[in-house]
Amino acid sequence: MSASAFGKVAVLLGGRSAEREVSLKSGAMVLRALRARGVDAHPFDPQQRSLAELIAEKFDRVFIALHGRYGEDGTIQGALELLGIPYTGSGVLASALAMDKWRTKLVWQAAGIPTPRYELLTAASDLRAVVARLSLPLMVKPANEGSSIGMSKVRAAAELDEAYALAANYDSVVLAEQFIEGIELTAAVLGGEALPLIKLETPREFYDYEAKYVTDDTRYIIPCGLAAGAESAVRQQVLAAFGALGCSGWGRVDLMLDGAGNPWFIEVNTSPGMTDHSLVPMAARHAGLSFEDLVLRILELAHVG
């Protein structure tokens, strides 16, 4: 598509979630890339402006660079469908499902997609019994946050109370999840294709918020080191995991590869980061797509419903 064919484009950024600062960075980079390619793109922060202004100002298309609640959970997608404005990424149902790590697991279990064992935690849970059933180490996480916010890796039973309290600050639904020892991988999905896998290595306890956005000691390894046939098989399973939730357009699937080479799917991000530390642009670059090419391709995939 030519730049003019996109019409007037709103880049939704910022928003009201705990990931606001990351979203502002993602949105600024997307905006710069679109403008560099001649697209009539404008920043739009729904925390500060009414969505009615999208109609009043005659926007033709929306690039969603929001992360977390109200931007990645089906809320903004439903509003844009009511307004009749094409938007990037997955639809209402898929966005809502993927944002909810618990219900993602329920769907994957029903579809036969391998995902680590887990239990829901409440204030009344017998945390020691949970440890006995799932074994250590465990990941404890709020069900509806991204960017590893509120997440902890628990290596000793005594740490579980504090980890639960932290996660419960962000969500009433908290998961304790079996930790898969092995290789951490992430897979970008773009237009029905899984891009080359990226292997993540960090000296931190896990790939947390600091490792994602702040420190410079995280290693991103691409090619990931798997044999071509093994990587191809994992990429096919990535598409199955993505598709089982009804996701479309673009996104990112996070998984672990255990010692036997079996993939275990962790979560799907339907509006992944687009910062200078972000993984989807990195995978796209390895596949021959510049950041500007990637942003235009995502915008081409915009849809209503």
The set of catalytic residues is 19, 147, 213, 252, 254, 267, 269, 273
Report the alpha-carbon distance of residue 58 to residue 5 in Å, rounded.
14
Q: How many CB atoms lie within 10 A of CB 53?
A: 12
Q: Which H or E run includes 293? A: helix 291-300
Q: How many CB atoms lie within 10 A of CB 250?
A: 26
Q: Which residues does 247 contact at the CB level (< 8 Å), separation at least 6?
A: 90, 94, 98, 189, 268, 270
Q: Are 142 and 149 in contact (CB under 8 A)?
A: yes
The alpha carbon dihedral of 287, 290, 294, 296 has a sign of negative
Unique residue bearing structure tokens 């990429």: 235
Q: Are 72 and 99 in contact (CB under 8 A)?
A: yes
What tokens appear for 266 in the block? 């962790």
The alpha carbon dihedral of 154, 155, 161, 162 has a sign of negative
Closest CA to 224 of 214, 211, 238: 238
